[in-house]
Amino acid sequence: MAMLLSSSVKSIGFYPPAHQAVKQPLEELAALFEELLLEKNEIYFGIVEDVFFLEDHIFVAPGTGVSELAKRLIQKGIDAVTVVRGVSFDELFHLVSLLARKETNAANLPEKFKSLGIVNIRLGIEQKVSEGDPDLPSLQAYNDALHAVSGVMREIENGRIPGSEKINAVVDDMVSLAIKDHTTLIGLSLIKDYDNYTFNHSVNVGILALSLGVHLGMDPETLRVINTAGLLHDIGKIQIDISLLNKPGKLSALEYEVMKKHSEAGAEMVSKMEGVSRQVIDAVLGHHIKFNRQGYPEWARDRIFGIISDIIAVADCYDAMTTLRSYNVPMSPKVAIDSILRLCGTTLEAGLGQKFVEMMGRYPVGTLVRLDTNEIAVVLKPNCADLEAPVVKVVIDPQGNSLPVPRKENLLRSDGTRYASIVATVDPLLKNIDITACVTR
């Protein structure tokens, strides 16, 4: 729906109303609204914390079309728009026409709605999004973390020693959220922004490491250190040329030596930041040292690195395995978990690797599965009480039809009965399913 709305707004600025480029996306948009409004009275979309949202779908890493729509709404000062059951094609046409005009803004939009006879679309929503969506604080924390990490790296790029205030504020929020329910944060680690890999990867490692710390029962202060170390572990890559970071294929011996410098460069940078603990510096330095001490930097192999460095190594390994890079085809979450187990005792500390697998469950978040009802679902959250019965989002019905509104189900209900059982994993490419969108939106 977000892409149809964006396409309609863009097209109407270039073509006359009767042109097919305008009519087609609008007709599809109207049909989709009609279908969705059979089940609810209204649908809302807008901007929160500079991020576009549609109902409970938060577009943390949006495509170009949605980004353009978000920018347009921000420029016009429009926080939210509500579409009510009974909305007509003409009302939607007027809405996209108004959004396409430069002079339209939040101040004059209600009067324009009134003059055009628009009654089923209104500005704003009666209930704040933050009150209606229990997952929004986690998404806001994720977005704040991206801004904080990128801000630190930009400061370094400009030759300045970055402050730690923003990182500390983000860490406080994330630790608070993780203590309440770390399984919700795990799903956010599926967000992949390939154009900003270093920032995105750093936040994901911070989330996975923090979640593992909570799973291990660590105290809040240690959790803050773990999260900070995860967010800053790759900060040294800011000094490596982007063409080398994104080089397809295997690095040459010389290029690999340059790449290996990022951990010690990062440790030096972090050591200059006020208020950053020695444990964070050690974790940044040692996250590639490997449990068997065959990693880098070579000169630090005999140093004693604590458990936090080992936790960051596990989280870093898993996120790298599941992320598409120019030199790496991503593994599915299930395959990556199996690979983590194989690395236990060599690259990774065995006990932590096994605890990570325990935390992620037999079917990790983001795994596409077939249920014994013949439905296809995406795993949303692990169930610590029963690793075979995670919380899922059903996306395809028993007849093989995609659900217009995916349905969340807990495979193990509160009364002890089961909704369904998992019988197999499914390749999302074969079903043309965007796993990240299913989990995070």
Average pLDDT rounded to a whole number, residues 334-341: 93
Residue 359: its pLDDT value, please?
A: 92
Q: Where is the domain boundary, 320, 341, 360?
A: 360
DSSP SS3 for 367:
coil
Q: What is the pTM of this model?
A: 0.70
pLDDT score, position 132: 43
pLDDT digits (tens, 9 = 90+) for 165-183: 889 999 998 999 899 888 8
pLDDT-derived band at 130 (thresholds 50, 70, 90) equals very low
Tell me, what's the pLDDT at 128?
39
- What is the rounded CA–CA span in Å between residue 385 and residue 70? 40
102 & 46 share domain: yes
Q: Does 163 share its domain with 74?
A: no
What percentage of the chain has pLDDT greater than the value 90? 39
Give the angle 191-63-314 at the CA atoms, nearest 5°. 15
Q: Rounded to an integer, what is the distance from CA 322 to the centroid of its chain?
A: 13
* Chain position carrying tokens 């690979």: 339
Distance of alpha carbon 279 from alpha carbon 379, whole angstroms: 34
- Looking at residue 215, its pLDDT comes to 93
- Give the tokens for residue 386: 């029963």
Identify the CA nearest to 282 among candidates 299, 298, 300, 294.
300
DSSP string of 226-271?
HHHHHHHTTGGGGGS-HHHHT--SPPPHHHHHHHHTHHHHHHHHHH
What is the model's pLDDT at position 217? 94
Instruction: Please indicate, yes or no, whether residues 175 and 294 belong to a single structural domain of this protein.
Output: yes
Shared domain for 226 and 351, answered yes or no, is yes
Same domain flag for 15 and 163:
no
Q: Which of 295, 327, 360 is where one domain is finished? A: 360
Are 85 and 146 members of one domain?
Answer: no
pLDDT in tens, 370-408: 999 999 999 988 887 787 889 999 999 999 998 888 898
Taken as a whole, the chain contains a residue count of: 441
Contact 138, 178 (CB under 8 A): no
Binned at pLDDT 50, 70 and 90, residue 135 comes out as low
Compute the distance between CA of residue 349 and CA of residue 251 in angstroms, rounded to an integer: 27
Domain count for the chain, please give it.
3
pLDDT in tens, 199-213: 889 999 999 999 999
Range of the domain at 380: 368-440
**204 and 103 together in one domain:** no
Judge if 405 and 421 occupy the same domain. Answer: yes
Final residue in a domain of this structure, among 329, 360, 391: 360
Cα–Cα distance measured from residue 53 to residue 291, given in angstroms and rounded to the nearest whole number = 42
User: What integer pLDDT is reported at residue 157 of this predicted model?
Assistant: 84
Q: Are residues 226 and 273 in the same domain?
A: yes
Looking at residues 18-25, what average pLDDT do you find? 77
pLDDT computed for residue 259 by the predictor? 95
Query: Which CATH number belongs to the domain containing residue 264 in this structure?
Result: 1.10.3210.10
Residue 55 in this model has a pLDDT that exceeds 50 = yes
User: Is residue 82 within 8 Å of 174, Cβ to Cβ?
Assistant: no
Same domain, yes or no: 104 and 155: no
Run of H or E residues at 295:
none
Do 330 and 434 belong together in one domain? Answer: no
DSSP alpha helices (H): ranges in 287-399? 307-321, 333-343, 350-360
Is residue 195 scored above 60 in pLDDT? no
CA-to-CA dists, residue 149 to 169, 234, 364, angstroms: 12, 10, 26
Say whether both 287 and 386 belong to one domain. Answer: no
Q: How many CB atoms lie within 10 A of CB 368?
A: 26
Mean pLDDT across 289-310 = 95
- pLDDT per residue over 283-292, tens digit each? 999 999 999 9
- Asked whether the beta carbons of 167 and 232 are under 8 A apart, the reply is yes
344: left (phi over 0), alpha (psi -120 to 50) or beta: beta
**60: pLDDT strictly greater than 70:** no
Give the pLDDT score at 56: 63
Q: For strand 51-54 and strand 80-84, is the pairing parallel, antiparallel, or unpaired? A: unpaired
